[in-house]
Structure 1
Amino acid sequence: MSDTAVLVIDMMNTYQHPDADLLIPNVADIVDPLTELITRARDRDDVDLIYVNDNYGDFTAQPSDLVQSALEGERPDLVKPVAPQADYRFVSKVRHSAFYASPLDYLLGRLSTQRVILTGQVTEQCILYSALDAYIRHFDVIVPRDAVAHIDAELGEAALRMMESNMGARLANACDCLD
């Protein structure tokens, strides 16, 4: 148990959706810093690593199914470096927020989490809504700018500013999040 959890949000993606062409280059930009952050989190006993992913409406899908589908999708090169390894925590979500209709809040409570580091995609959607839900649950929120991907650059920047000013989120680089 620790007081910090790194949430890897929606990175198990097949990139077979209408916004994929806009999202892919931005995900490509975050893969290296996110991979390094995941590696650092895995190597530390004082950080919990939790994958949170949309189930895309398939309520029979197991976490391994979502990971496998993503690895077999259009861009496995964006998935493989950040894919979960054995003995990982995985929470399925059904909408934009990692907290909505998921057991994440309960899990974080059991882990005694005080601070969440939100990574993944999409900055102006799932990251923003997860940040709001974390904030109203009194978690400290950190968002590494170089480990979240946007579809629309303007909206992504606006979302980061909202998280910082309205939710007290700390914006940082991925390499500085666990210091």
Structure 2
Amino acid sequence: MGKTALIVIDMINTYDHKDADLLLPSVTSVVPVLTGLLERARQKDVPVIYVNDNFGEWRSHHGELLEHALAGPHAELVEPLRPDRSSLFVVKARHSIFFDTPLTYLLHQQGIERLVLSGQVTEQCVLYSSLDAHIRHFDVVIPRDAVAHIHADLAEAALRMMERNMGAQVCDSRELWA
């Protein structure tokens, strides 16, 4: 097995969007799990890469996105997950972490072959990112308790699709870097 990276998808967020009310309960349960996963990954020197929507703010950078989210009404969901000095950050425009981003180049440059996908939204960005990782020949791991969803039934279906159709390993976060 090659070098692994923890990918944190879209967790730097103001939750000022149409599906936020449906998403927030799941995010609230995922934040403590993801916080623990981040701590364990950092203790084991696993690279942590945040890939985050820019929310149409084309003049912003990751620091401004973080400041904006921390100034928002749900800062308590962002603060525990904030990137540290060793974290890498890639800004994306659409659902997949790979779509029009330099992520593939970055992963190859770092010698990373296995991706642990965490964050939100299971049935959208995580699913599309898993497919794109699969077609780029990366091994994919999805800790089911470290991904947030809008619709539980669609999230469960997405996890099954990632496992069956894309060969992703679906597990509990406690199985990683224990």
Compare 79-88 and 59-68 and name the one that shifted more. Answer: 79-88
Contact 2:52 2:92 survives alignment (8 Å): yes
Contact 1:142 1:177 survives alignment (8 Å): no
CA distance in 2, matches of 1:34, 1:64: 20
TM-score using structure 1 length: 0.96
Contact 1:35 1:81 survives alignment (8 Å): yes
2:107 corresponds to which residue?
Answer: 108
Matched to 1:62, the amino acid is H
Contact 1:115 1:142 survives alignment (8 Å): yes
CA distance in 1, matches of 2:94, 2:168: 22
2:35 corresponds to which residue?
Answer: 35
Contact 1:117 1:177 survives alignment (8 Å): no
CA distance in 2, matches of 1:72, 1:85: 18
1:5 corresponds to which residue?
Answer: 5
Compare 79-88 and 151-160 and name the one that shifted more. Answer: 79-88
CA distance in 2, matches of 1:169, 1:110: 23
Matched to 2:58, the amino acid is F
Shift of 1:87: 3.7
1:154 corresponds to which residue?
Answer: 153
1:79 aligns with 2:78: yes
Does the residue aligned with 2:89 lie in a helix, a strand or coil?
A: strand
Does the residue aligned with 1:114 lie in a helix, a strand or coil?
A: strand
CA distance in 1, matches of 2:114, 2:85: 24
Counting only pairs closer than 5 Å after superposition, residues 49-128 of structure 1 correspond to structure 2 as: 49-128=48-127
Unpaired segments of 5 or more residues in structure 2? none
1:18 corresponds to which residue?
Answer: 18
Unpaired segments of 5 or more residues in structure 1? none
Matched to 1:35, the amino acid is T
Shift of 1:51: 0.5
Q: Deviations over 1:96-132 (max 9, x none)?
A: 0000010110000001111000000000000000000
Shift of 1:55: 0.6
Counting aligned pairs with the same residue, the percent is 54
Contact 1:140 1:169 survives alignment (8 Å): yes
CA RMSD of aligned residues (A): 1.0
Does the residue aligned with 1:4 lie in a helix, a strand or coil?
A: strand
